[in-house]
Amino acid sequence: RSLEGKLRIGLAEQSVLVSLSHAIALSDPRTKLSEDKCGTALDEAVRTVKQVYSELPTYDEIVPALLKHGVKALPDHCKLRPGIPLKPMLAHPTKSLTEVLNRFENMAFTCEFKYDGERAQIHLLESGDVKIYSRNSEDLSVKYPDIMQRLPKIIGPGVTSFVMDSEAVAWDREQKCILPFQVLSGRKRKDVAAEDVKVQVCVFGFDLLYLNGETLTHKSLVERRVLLHTNFNHVEGEFAFAKHMDGSSVEQIQTFLEESVTGNCEGLMVKTLEQEASYEPSKRSRNWLKLKKDYLDGVGDSLDLVVVGGFTGKGKRTGWYGGYLLACYDPDREEYQTICKIGTGFSEEALAQQAEQFKELIADGPKSYYQYGDSPNVRPDVWFEPKIVRLVL
């Protein structure tokens, strides 16, 4: 976990990469360590290692190559290749169409439907093996034998290897429509046989990162998209290209957004097409924008809820509440029904201040007219008197 940078102790991936680069550079006689150039040489080593890691994020490959060939020659030995998942590019959230237009002013861009499913990075190796990886590079291959099976009819002639970025979405084969994420998450994950898959999925491809031995991440999205469309086939209910629209007027985008929502999608992804349009897994990772329907003004609902309990905080939040249990009053049954927990959106100052405020309201236990479940995660560490009402957006 240390090496994977998942310990949550302030030592995460970037720190590990810096340390590794420095260690190798300093112990390698090939690195010239003159007084004035030392810092520059180290920075250069870090840049190289990070760049290589973004294409081939596996220490099993990078460390041996570093030890054998040194930092300089690392890019010649470690390149993007099917079978090793790369960190998928992520998108910046935006709250309005204006924000999107400001950001992409004077640039060619495209809008795509944002499908409500699971990120799926599909790899075809030269050996013929197929691998499917999740957003966090987990191996989902055993979860999707149905996708594996249908792959031959999706890939075009002459395709011997590729890495595709896509979204796997639950699909209703009778109604021929997209189903919510909740349905998809009901799929089995292990020991799945293609024959007894209950929740059907349709794959929506939206990017191509590698094709027939060639890395495409440095090409622009326009180029990658052409390659995607010319080398793969649409297959009804099984594989489709993410729906896109290149228009840039407010009206066109507005209409497209509404269309996406009608089609059971979450909203739009907006991406540059030509300039700054390469696929950058780690460097400029938030190069795309997402425009979700529930971010938009007036679309989301708000509720007045009563704070009935608090959960003791961990880590940075040790010493006050890390989250709260909220309830809604039902006048018919004369009781407070717990609804949800809330744990983000508080600055540290607000958390400290709130802890003071709730100190006065600590109750011995749950009120008789509190209605809550059995599960321990709805049993707060501290119960409160029902005094504080909060507007929840």
Per the residue annotation, which of 87, 114, 143, 219 is the catalytic one? Answer: 114
322 binds DNA (CB under 7 A): yes
Q: What is the largest CA-CA distance in the chain?
A: 80
Using CB under 7 A, count the residues that bind DNA.
Answer: 60
22 binds DNA (CB under 7 A): no
- Residue from 292, 308, 327, 372 touching DNA (CB under 7 A): that is 292
92 binds DNA (CB under 7 A): yes
Site map 115..154 versus DNA, x via CB under 7 A: -xxxx--------------xxx-x-x--------------
Q: Give the C-alpha separation, 8 to 360, whole Å.
A: 33
Q: Residue 227 is which amino acid?
A: L
Which of these ranges, 6-14, 36-44, 216-224, 245-253, lies near DNA under the rule CB under 7 A?
A: 6-14
% helix, strand, coil for the chain, step of 5: 30, 25, 40
47 binds DNA (CB under 7 A): no
Told to judge if 176 belongs to the known catalytic residues of this protein, a careful annotator would answer no
Task: Provide the 3-class DSSP secondary structure of residue 297.
Answer: coil
Q: Interaction with DNA in 194-253: which residues (CB under 7 A)?
A: none
- Residue from 128, 316, 364, 365 touching DNA (CB under 7 A): that is 316
Question: Which own/partner pairs from 329-334 qualify as long-range (CB within 8 Å, at least 24 positions apart)?
Answer: 329/386, 330/371, 333/371, 334/369
Strand partners, 368: none
For the record, the structure tokens of 180 come out as 């919510």
Q: Which residues contact 330 (CB under 8 A, 6 or more apart)?
A: 336, 337, 371
CB of 101 to DNA, least distance (A): 15
Cα angle 207-211-213, degrees, rounded to a multiple of 5: 145
- Residue from 37, 314, 333, 387 touching DNA (CB under 7 A): that is 314
For tokens 């191509």, what's the residue? 208
Radius of gyration of the chain (CA): 25
Q: Interaction with DNA in 149-188: which residues (CB under 7 A)?
A: 181-182, 185-188
Catalytic residue set:
114
Binding site residues, DNA, CB under 7 A: 5, 7-15, 90, 92-93, 116-119, 134-136, 138, 140, 181-182, 185-192, 282, 284-286, 292, 295, 311, 313-317, 322-323, 340-349, 374-377
